[in-house]
Amino acid sequence: MGSLLRTEAQARADLIAVTSYDVALDLDQGEETFGSETTISFSCREPEASTFLDLDAVSITSITLNDNEIDPASVADQRVTLSNLRAENTVRIVATMRYRHDGEGLHRAVDPADGKHYVYGMSFLDAGPSIFACFDQPDLKAPYDVRVRAPQEWIVAGNGAAEQTAPGEWTLATTPPLSTYFVTICAGPYAVETDEHDGIPLGIYVRASLAEQLHEQRDDIFEVTKQSFDYYHRLFGIRYPWGKYDQFFVPEFNAGAMENPGCVTLRDQYIFRGAHTRTELLTRANTIAHEMAHMWFGDLVTMQWWDDLWLNESFAEYMAHRTTADATRYTEAWVDFGISRKTWGYGVDRSPATHPVAGADAPDAGSALTNFDGISYAKGASALRQLSAFVGDDAFIAGVRKHLSDNSFGNATMSDFLGAVEHESGKSLAAWTKAWLLSSGVDDLRLDVHERDGVIERADLVVTPPVGASGGRPHVLEIGAISDARELQRIRVETDAASTELPELAGSPRAKLLLPNISDLTWATTILDPTSLEAVDTELAAAQDPLVRLALWSALLGGADTGQIDPRMVVRTFAATWPAETVASLGDALARLIDTYYPYRLVPQRDSAAAKAALAEAGQRRLALVDPAAPAALTGARLVAATSSDAVLLSAWAADVDRPAAAAGDKDFGWIALARQAELGLIDRETIEQAAGRDDSLNGHLSALQARAALPLEESKTWAWSQLYGDEHQLSNYEGMAIAQGFFAGYGENDATALLRAYADRFFTELACVPKKFGDMSSEQFVLTAYPHGVVEQGIADAARSAIDDRANTAGVRRALVDALDRTDRALVAHRRFTTESPKHPTTEG
């Protein structure tokens, strides 16, 4: 079936209004299929007209419209035509549906730890019709009554509060009006922890095999949940409208979480089964706050059409970091936003896949997913942060309140939201909207400094828009002057000019470091002047303010990403300063970013072994600086385990011998060391199978798949390739991702490099099967994971371009290839520019 067209959705919304849904699901029919009976009441504004509803069924037993039977054989392209409508109508569909394994629809997973089955519903973006018949578009909201039959040992939950009426029989309370993509059912032998806050019943659910870990971590989860509720109630002035609040941590989940009203689903990796860091706790807290923000912005007020999906996610992204920083113990949330989320978004916004935050054309539902990225999240959140600074936070929040109040339980557009902010602030946002929301790309910020005898005579902030832009955007930011870790000046600047004089700096002694965007408030690439660039190493190591360190790292990473700074210098700076980094999220994200994007990618091939070794050495120096039982030691040990080539150390750590105390007994840490052994060819398949035998969990199963795929042996690569692209193997989305993650690991480091080079060419011939095997929602991430990133050659770039031009590949696959190709192109630039030069200091190139 083709994706629902916007014109079709508009015509259907103009014709009908949905009064109610009554959904009965029978989940006790076996492991492959389930029964689905749906009754929909709706009105029609033009009697005798026709419309259609959406249904993705294995088989259809009956369809009845106003007591008239419709032949199930007439259903075509997953659409049921409804003709000769009356003013008031009732349609009833009885069908059999198939459980899915791609994280969409009604997903069924088996926990290998105990063989128990778990079910959860994921109706986003257009997967609802594979669970129940519906008018599947966001602006046809209606209340839902849901009944579920399930195995007697299961519990059942959903959007409305669930009541068990008989063994295996459950009835859910009638919901307020919902969009179809929010409807969910979770069922299985879940373990549960309960609480209550401010009259709201709270529940946390997880697989039975994780019950002990949930019990240990429940207090932190409930604390963040309660703090977020209190913050949003104060901020929005509207009480939580969905009754109870359940959080289901479910297996094999595609995204971080999904904001189903009253029944949020989250990936169950957020229930840590072993050692974990403060960063992981912060990330979980941020996700909890993010999904809760959606209860108001997205659920209470929903976009009219998918082209405004950015506003749901931008708002939740912004609110999550604001809430986590202001209301929880994770006060460093904005630092985490800058290094983790904005770095992701900058990569997209500098690439050919860049697009405006808003206003992107979404002619059909599926096309919206191609712009569901770091721009929709991180840049959109940064734009809202700028909007708050531009109009004043009081006016911004007043506008949010007005928007939520005016459109409660309905749908709205970007214009509605901005109109509410304009009303409360008294400021026109037309120019601001055009510059921030309707344009693409990243502005460059730099200081043009004229000095004499160590004294600044004149300084100007220069804003350079991206190539092809009609003009720059207004910025609210701060500029700092720092020498020897002492902040000498901080200047707040509001400008929409290409060049802005900074009289506050004139007459001042030249500081060693002049840092635009020192508080990381705006969205831009910081280009340091030559004097400041020379001072980066010493000032970064000495800076006490984590936002200053973040701003400096953002400048270095952005410079390497755009080919202006030698990536080897970034590695050197990391090795020199990272071991002493005290903010966990900044240090953890940097370790991940440098290890992922630098050796064997941005760093030229001949220098990559040394770069990898420098990372391992940095991890060892961190271990020497911190308490071996502290979470900071776990971060250092993970970096060593992922980058070291020391066969003796890796063997010992994989066997839980002589590990730092923070990692002792941690099975997940053991798999990191074992995966590194596998990609270096230090172990065989039997060793992996023995490790899997000692860890029968889902994570153990996936880690074993990844390690086996990483073995630099022809037999292992043949097996993995067949698993990923062969018709005879049915993998879950997580199994496919694990094998893909291992396949090209170690390229350039192991004896299978020549073998893998041939597979790199073959990768582009297999792309058409990916959406069919792993689903549309997972396929984009799969392609990004499976892509041969380490093969930095023009031939790979050319093959990627050909695959992007091939319309046999889906839009999601082509979009993933655009992102992956951009990384290859950037690496090629770095190799050409820096291969023949020896690193001296992080200087920019022409």
- Domain spans in the chain, listed from the N-terminal domain onward: 1-189, 301-436, 443-557
Fold of the CATH domain 443-557? Immunoglobulin-like (2.60.40)
Instruction: Output DSSP code: residue 208.
Output: G
pLDDT band at 841 (very low <50, low <70, confident <90, very high): very low
**How many Cα atoms within 13 Å fall on the side-chain side of residue 50?**
5
Contacts of 1 by beta carbon, 8 Å cutoff, 6+ apart: 56, 77, 78, 79
Portion of the chain with pLDDT greater than 90, in percent: 90
Nearest to 290 by CA among 380, 228, 206: 228
Task: Report pLDDT for 460.
Answer: 96
Distance from C-alpha of 191 to C-alpha of 206, rounded to nearest angstrom: 5
Residue 412 to residues 303, 401, 415, 432, 791, Cα–Cα distance (Å): 5, 14, 8, 20, 46
Distance from C-alpha of 221 to C-alpha of 175, rounded to nearest angstrom: 25
291 is catalytic: yes
Catalytic residue from among 193, 291, 424, 780: 291
pLDDT band at 1 (very low <50, low <70, confident <90, very high): low
Task: Report pLDDT for 470.
Answer: 73
Instruction: Output DSSP code: residue 413.
Output: -
443-557 matches 301-436 in CATH topology: no
Nearest to 444 by CA among 353, 356, 554: 554
In a 3-state reduction of DSSP, which class is residue 219?
Answer: helix
Task: Report pLDDT for 366.
Answer: 81
Give the mean model confidence (pLDDT) for residues 778-786.
Answer: 92
Contacts of 480 by beta carbon, 8 Å cutoff, 6+ apart: 487, 489, 490, 491, 513, 514, 515, 518, 548
Average pLDDT, the chain: 95
Give the mean model confidence (pLDDT) for residues 18-33.
Answer: 97
Give the mean model confidence (pLDDT) for residues 567-576.
Answer: 96
How many other C-beta atoms lie within 10 A of the C-beta of residue 178? 25
Distance from C-alpha of 782 to C-alpha of 809, rounded to nearest angstrom: 14
Distance from C-alpha of 374 to C-alpha of 372, rounded to nearest angstrom: 7
Task: Report pLDDT for 838.
Answer: 56
**CATH number attached to the domain at 301-436:** 1.10.390.10
In a 3-state reduction of DSSP, which class is residue 63?
Answer: strand
In a 3-state reduction of DSSP, which class is residue 682?
Answer: coil
Among 3.30.420.40, 2.60.120.260, 2.60.40.1730, 3.90.180.10, what is the CATH number of 1-189? 2.60.40.1730
Task: Report pLDDT for 836.
Answer: 61
As beta bridge partners, residue 458 has 450
Q: Does pLDDT of 844 surpass 50?
A: no
How many other C-beta atoms lie within 10 A of the C-beta of residue 748? 17
Q: Does pLDDT of 845 surpass 70?
A: no
Distance from C-alpha of 390 to C-alpha of 375, rounded to nearest angstrom: 20
Give the mean model confidence (pLDDT) for residues 821-844.
Answer: 78
- Contact call for residues 317 and 334 (beta carbons, < 8 A): no
Distance from C-alpha of 383 to C-alpha of 434, rounded to nearest angstrom: 12
Backbone phi and psi for residue 165, each to the nearest 5 degrees, phi listed first: -95, -15
pLDDT band at 772 (very low <50, low <70, confident <90, very high): confident
Nearest to 308 by CA among 361, 348, 259, 374: 361
Q: Does pLDDT of 357 surpass 60?
A: yes
Give the mean model confidence (pLDDT) for residues 225-235.
Answer: 98
Q: Does pLDDT of 846 surpass 60?
A: no
The two tokens of residue 78 are 């997953």
232-266 pLDDT tens trace? 999 999 999 999 999 999 999 988 899 999 999 99
Give the mean model confidence (pLDDT) for residues 461-468.
Answer: 91
Give the mean model confidence (pLDDT) for residues 214-233.
Answer: 98
Q: Does pLDDT of 131 surpass 90?
A: yes
Task: Report pLDDT for 359.
Answer: 79
Contacts of 488 by beta carbon, 8 Å cutoff, 6+ apart: 481, 482, 508, 511
Portion of the chain with pLDDT greater than 70, in percent: 99
The set of long-range contacts for 736-740, using a CB threshold of 8 Å and a minimum separation of 24, is 736/773, 736/774, 736/778, 736/782, 737/778, 737/781, 737/782, 737/785, 738/702, 738/703, 738/705, 738/706, 738/709, 739/705, 739/706, 739/708, 739/709, 740/709, 740/782, 740/785, 740/786
Nearest to 136 by CA among 163, 104, 164: 104
The secondary element (H helix, E strand) that includes residue 516 is strand 513-516
